[in-house]
């Protein structure tokens, strides 16, 4: 879920930059068809850009032992909240709720239009399926169907011509595509603003084609004013008076934009490139130096509740130095390291994994967490001083202490030929699947 939310956030930022550029630079131009195509193609591109990493790997040399963090660590999934959910899970639930609301609204709009199309009388006029509405009802088009009242069809043929331009230009495809964008990025206010701008582009393009068909521009503008009363009832429809009247009339009056303005879109390329470089995080793969590579430390033990799959996952242990007073020697400095049953730290990891059991009460109450312990392999090889440095729950803490305390004897570590005590830290992850 976290990766998906990060993708949604990054792509939403790309869309924000793209839409802001359009509003500031291209909104007042008369390239209606070009703006429409670029607006849709740019939206799809911004949705794909986060999937491409331009800074993928950076190799770093790091001194000291190589430490691998255990997979499935709950701390990597976000900080738990008071209700037992990580923040990314809460955000995921909120995102899904918004998605479902927009989806339901869209489905209701489509259902109403199809129901209206089936309930009303229809015919074919000039090759277009036409559904007759009650007189006084605003006209609109949806897919390949024109909805118009008989009075407007008879007295104002420019309205029918306008709606037919919507159908011929396939504006409904734009609306369906952009509704998908609204579904995924519903939280971005610029997406909703650009839906209005896309509707205006459709009206500008239809108005331009109507005037190019020989309709007097002045009379057409007066018709717009007379038909300005009415409300938009369907979010996926294109209507004669659904867009802002003042903007439409103003766009008819302004001179045609200079062809050079088309090249303004080229300025988007370096802008998006810089934004991609800034928004793509570097993945750091740490490569140990040769000295460090001699010490192999495994990941933390990850014990999972196996209700669905009975096997416990492969063991893993993170063993680190625990500097202390007295004669105890750090693990990474001792000449001869402690040995467990003839093996290394990984052998102890496998033994711990075989002994640990998820407490039944913890399963029932869905208790999970990360327990960090410390223990000392003494000079006689006995494990002593088992302590909980950071607990998760008393049930999980007790189980981790029980297993570590029951450890068989080790072969003690040695310094200058003499046995010495070595202290470790040892995390155990209890995770419910």
| pTM, 2 dp | 0.53
Residue 229 CB partners (closer than 8 Å, separation 6+): 241
Q: How far apart are CA 429 and CA 433, in angstroms?
A: 12
**For residue 240, what pLDDT band results from cuts at 50, 70 and 90?**
low
Q: How many CB atoms lie within 10 A of CB 366?
A: 9
3-class secondary-structure state, position 297: strand
Task: Give the chain's mean pLDDT.
Answer: 75
**For residue 236, what pLDDT band results from cuts at 50, 70 and 90?**
low
Q: Give backbone dihedrals phi and psi of 315, rounded to 5 degrees, phi first.
A: -70, 160
**pLDDT, average across residues 367-391:** 89
* Residue range 2-43, pLDDT digits in tens: 788 888 888 888 898 889 888 888 888 888 888 999 999 989
The per-residue pLDDT for 428 is: 86
**For residue 293, what pLDDT band results from cuts at 50, 70 and 90?**
very low
- Least-confidence region, from 91-95, 120-124, 377-381: 120-124
Residue spans of the domains in the chain: they are 2-278, 295-432
Instruction: Assign domain 295-432 to a CATH class.
Output: alpha beta
Instruction: Find the DSSP H helices in 254-344.
Output: 268-279, 290-293
Give the DSSP letter string of 43-104: HHHHHHGGGS-SS-EEEEEE-S-EE-PPTT-GGGG--B-TTS-BHHHHHHHHHHHHHHHHHH
- Least-confidence region, from 77-91, 178-192, 211-225: 77-91
Q: Which residue has the higher pLDDT, 281 or 143?
A: 143
Contact assessment for residue 276 and residue 54, using Cβ atoms and an 8 Å cutoff: yes
Q: Which residue has the higher pLDDT, 185 or 245?
A: 185
Contact assessment for residue 129 and residue 145, using Cβ atoms and an 8 Å cutoff: yes
- What tokens does 257 get? 């934009």
Has residue 53 got a pLDDT over 80?
Answer: no
The per-residue pLDDT for 292 is: 34
Q: How far apart are CA 164 and CA 138, in angstroms?
A: 15
**For residue 113, what pLDDT band results from cuts at 50, 70 and 90?**
confident
The DSSP secondary-structure symbol of 263 reads: G
**pLDDT, average across residues 208-231:** 78
Q: How far apart are CA 346 and CA 357, in angstroms?
A: 19
């Amino acid at each position: 879920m976290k990766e998906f939310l990060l993708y949604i956030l990054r792509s939403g930022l790309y869309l924000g930059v793209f839409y802001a550029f359009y509003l500031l630079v291209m909104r007042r131009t008369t390239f209606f068809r070009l703006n429409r195509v670029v607006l849709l193609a740019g939206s799809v591109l911004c949705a794909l850009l986060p999937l491409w990493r331009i800074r993928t790997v950076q190799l770093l040399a790091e001194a000291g032992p190589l430490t691998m963090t255990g997979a499935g660590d709950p701390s990597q999934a976000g900080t738990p909240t008071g209700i037992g959910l990580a923040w990314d899970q809460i955000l995921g639930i909120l995102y899904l709720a918004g998605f479902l609301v927009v989806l339901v609204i869209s489905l209701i709009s489509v259902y109403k239009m199809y129901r209206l199309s089936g309930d009303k009388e229809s015919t074919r006029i000039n090759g277009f399926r036409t559904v007759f509405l009650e007189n006084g009802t605003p006209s609109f088009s949806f897919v390949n169907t024109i909805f118009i009242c008989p009075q407007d069809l008879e007295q104002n043929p420019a309205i029918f011509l306008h709606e037919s331009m919507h159908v011929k230009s396939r504006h409904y495809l734009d609306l369906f595509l952009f509704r998908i964008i609204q579904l995924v990025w519903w939280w971005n206010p610029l997406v909703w603003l650009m839906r209005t701008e896309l509707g205006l582009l459709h009206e500008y393009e239809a108005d331009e084609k109507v005037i190019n068909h020989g309709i007097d521009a002045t009379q057409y503008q007066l018709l717009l004013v007379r038909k300005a009363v009415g409300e938009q009832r369907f979010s996926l429809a294109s209507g004669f008076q659904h867009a802002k009247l003042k903007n439409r009339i103003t766009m008819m009056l302004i001179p045609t934009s200079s062809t050079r303005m088309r090249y303004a879109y080229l300025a988007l390329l370096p802008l998006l490139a810089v934004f991609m470089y800034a928004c793509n995080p570097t993945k750091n793969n740490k490569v140990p130096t040769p000295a460090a590579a001699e010490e192999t430390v495994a990941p933390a033990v990850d014990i999972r509740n196996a209700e669905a799959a009975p096997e416990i996952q492969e063991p893993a242990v993170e063993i680190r130095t625990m500097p202390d007073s007295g004669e105890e020697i750090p693990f990474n400095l001792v000449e001869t390291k402690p040995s467990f049953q003839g093996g290394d730290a990984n052998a102890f990891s496998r033994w711990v994994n075989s002994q640990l059991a998820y407490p039944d009460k913890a399963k029932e109450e869905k208790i999970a967490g990360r327990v960090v312990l410390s223990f000392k392999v003494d000079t006689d090889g006995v494990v002593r001083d088992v302590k909980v440095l950071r607990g998760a729950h008393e049930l999980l803490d007790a189980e981790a202490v029980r297993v570590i305390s029951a450890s068989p004897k080790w072969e003690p570590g040695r310094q200058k030929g003499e046995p010495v005590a070595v202290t470790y830290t040892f995390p155990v992850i209890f995770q419910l699947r």
